[in-house]
Amino acid sequence: MSDISKKFYNLFWQNKTCQNLFLLSKEELLDTTTIGSGEKTLSYSLPRIIISNAHDSENVETIKIRTENLNISLDNSLGDKIEFFKPLIEQFFNSKFKKSFDKLSLDIETKGLSVIGKIIRILSSEKNRERNIVLFLQDYGFVGRHINNFKEIEEDLKHQFSPKKSNELINEHTLRTFFEGIKFAKELYVNHSYKKLYSTNQVLTNTLNREDDFQSRIKLFHYLYESGILTPSKEDAFIECSNCEPGTYRGVFQLRLNPKKLQELKCPVCSRELTYFVPYELHNDIYDIVKSQDGLLLDAYCNTLQKLNINYLVNQKFLQDIEIDCIFAIDDKTYIVESKMYKQNTTHEKLQVKLRGHFGKLLRDTQRIQGLPQFKNKILMPILLTNIIDTEFIKSVEKDLKNTTVPELVVNARIFNIELLKVNN
What is the model's pLDDT at position 309? 92
Task: Provide the H-helix boundaries in 257-294.
Answer: 284-290
Domain shared by 297 and 281, yes or no: no
Phi/psi for 25 (5° steps) reads -65, 155
Do 250 and 231 sit in the same domain of this protein? yes
Q: Which amino acid is at 275?
A: T
How many Å apart are CA 291 and CA 310, to the nearest integer?
25
CATH code at 385?
Answer: 3.40.1350.10
Same domain, 226 and 153: no
**Residues 82 and 17 grouped into a single domain:** no
- Answer whether 0.85 is exceeded by the pTM: no
- Domains in the chain, number: 3
Cα gap 362→360, rounded to integer Å: 5
Which residue, 223, 264, 250, is CA-closest to 53? 264
Domain boundary among 288, 309, 324: 288
Rounded CA gap, 134 and 136, in Å?
5
pLDDT along the chain (425 residues), means of 10: 93 91 86 71 81 68 76 64 60 70 82 80 80 85 82 73 55 58 64 64 51 77 95 88 87 88 92 89 94 88 92 92 92 92 87 92 91 87 92 90 71 86 63
Domain-located, residue 235: yes
Name every residue whose Cβ is closer than 8 Å to that of residue 241 and which is 6 or more positions away in sequence: 248, 249, 250, 267, 269, 270, 272, 274, 275
For residues 348 and 303, is the Cβ–Cβ distance under 8 A?
no
Would you say how long the chain is, in residues?
425
Asked if residue 246 is part of any domain, the answer here is yes
Instruction: Indicate whether 298 and 418 sit together in one domain.
Output: yes
Domain span at 224: 3-55+203-288
- 242 and 262 assigned to the same domain: yes
Residue 67 φ then ψ, to 5°: -65, -40
Answer yes or no: do 320 and 380 share one domain.
yes
Amino acid identity for residue 113 in this structure: L
How many whole angstroms separate alpha carbon 252 and alpha carbon 238? 5
Does a structural domain hold residue 191?
no
At residue 89, the pLDDT reads 61
| Separation CA 135–CA 146 (nearest Å) | 11
Question: Among the three residues 288, 315, 343, which one is the final residue of a domain in this structure?
Answer: 288
Calpha distance 128→136 (Å, rounded):
12
Supply the pLDDT for residue 10. 94
Q: Considering the domain boundaries, does residue 101 fall inside one? A: yes
Do 284 and 317 fall within a single domain?
A: no
Q: Three-class SS of residue 254?
A: coil
* SS3 call for 274: coil
Q: For residues 281 and 301, state if they share a domain.
A: no
Same domain, 243 and 270: yes
* Strand ranges for 301-421 from DSSP E: 312-318, 322-330, 333-340, 379-386, 414-416
Query: Is residue 65 one of the residues assigned to a domain?
Result: no
- Please indicate, yes or no, whether residues 413 and 308 belong to a single structural domain of this protein: yes
